[in-house]
C-alpha cells in the first residue's frame, strides 16, 4: 500500500512516524512546502528503522505531487496553525485555500485515494476537500479528530483525578471549538 501525508508539521510528522513504525504502508510519501524540513524529518524517521524494526520506504517529496501517484490513502494535515489569540474560525479562509490546492493536486495523481483530512477547523476543511475533490465519492473523504479529542479529554480527566490515563475509558464525539 502507498500512503501520502501532506504536511510535515507536528501532526503530519507524528502521523508519518506511526504509519512507518506500524508498517501500514510499503511506501510512505511526505509532502510539504518546506522541502528541507521534509527531507530532514523523512531521513530522521528512516534512520530509526533499524532500531524500531520497520522497513516502510519513506519518500520526502517536497512539493512534487507526481510522487504521490497511485496513493491509496492520503492524509491531509497541511494548514497554518493557530497563533496566540486566534480562534479556529480565524483559520478558515487561509486553510481552505491550502486544503483546496492540496486536494486538487492529490486527485490529479491519485483519483482512487481515500482522503483523510486532519487540518483545522476540521469540519470546514473536510467540506473544502469534498468540494475540491471533483468526482471523488463522498464516502472516500473523511475528517478525523475524534481520537485526538478523546485522548486530550482522557488526559485532562486523569490529571484532574491524579490517576493513570490508562484507567480512563471514555469517548468524545462531535465538533469542538476553542
Q: Say how far apart CA 17 and CA 45 lie, in whole Å.
A: 7
pLDDT over 80 at 145, yes or no: no
Q: Which residues are catalytic?
A: 176
pLDDT over 80 at 42, yes or no: yes
- pLDDT tens, residue by residue, 23-36: 999 999 999 999 99
Q: Tell me whether strands 114-117 and 141-143 are parallel, antiparallel or unpaired.
A: parallel
Per-residue model confidence (pLDDT) at position 83: 83
Per-residue model confidence (pLDDT) at position 37: 92
- The band of 178, judged by pLDDT with boundaries at 50, 70 and 90, is low
Per-residue model confidence (pLDDT) at position 149: 81
Beta strands in the chain (DSSP E): 2-6, 27-31, 57-62, 73-76, 114-117, 141-143
Average pLDDT, integer, range 85-103: 88
pLDDT over 70 at 100, yes or no: yes
**Residues of the chain by 3-state class (helix, strand, coil), percent to 5:** 50, 15, 35
Query: How many CB atoms within 10 Å of residue 40?
Result: 14
Per-residue model confidence (pLDDT) at position 23: 97
pLDDT over 90 at 173, yes or no: no
Q: Say how far apart CA 32 and CA 127 lie, in whole Å.
A: 21
Amino acid at each position: 500500500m502507498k500512503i501520502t501525508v501532506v504536511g510535515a508539521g507536528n501532526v503530519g510528522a507524528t502521523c508519518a512516524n506511526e504509519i512507518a513504525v506500524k508498517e501500514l504502508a510499503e511506501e510512505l510519501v511526505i509532502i510539504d512546502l518546506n522541502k528541507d524540513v521534509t527531507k530532514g524529518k523523512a531521513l530522521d524517521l528512516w534512520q530509526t528503522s533499524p532500531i524500531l524494526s520497520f522497513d516502510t520506504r519513506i519518500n520526502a517529496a517536497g512539493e512534487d505531487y507526481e510522487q504521490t501517484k497511485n496513493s491509496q490513502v492520503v492524509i491531509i494535515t497541511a494548514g497554518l496553525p493557530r497563533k496566540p489569540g486566534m480562534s479556529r474560525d480565524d483559520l478558515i479562509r487561509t486553510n481552505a485555500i491550502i486544503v483546496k490546492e492540496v486536494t486538487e493536486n492529490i486527485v490529479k495523481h491519485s483519483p482512487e485515494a481515500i482522503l483523510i483530512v486532519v487540518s483545522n477547523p476540521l469540519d470546514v476543511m473536510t467540506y473544502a476537500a469534498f468540494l475540491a475533490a471533483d468526482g471523488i465519492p463522498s464516502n472516500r473523504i473523511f475528517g478525523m479528530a475524534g481520537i485526538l479529542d478523546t485522548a486530550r479529554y482522557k488526559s485532562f480527566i486523569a490529571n484532574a483525578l491524579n490517576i493513570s490515563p490508562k484507567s480512563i475509558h471514555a469517548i468524545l464525539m462531535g465538533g469542538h471549538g476553542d
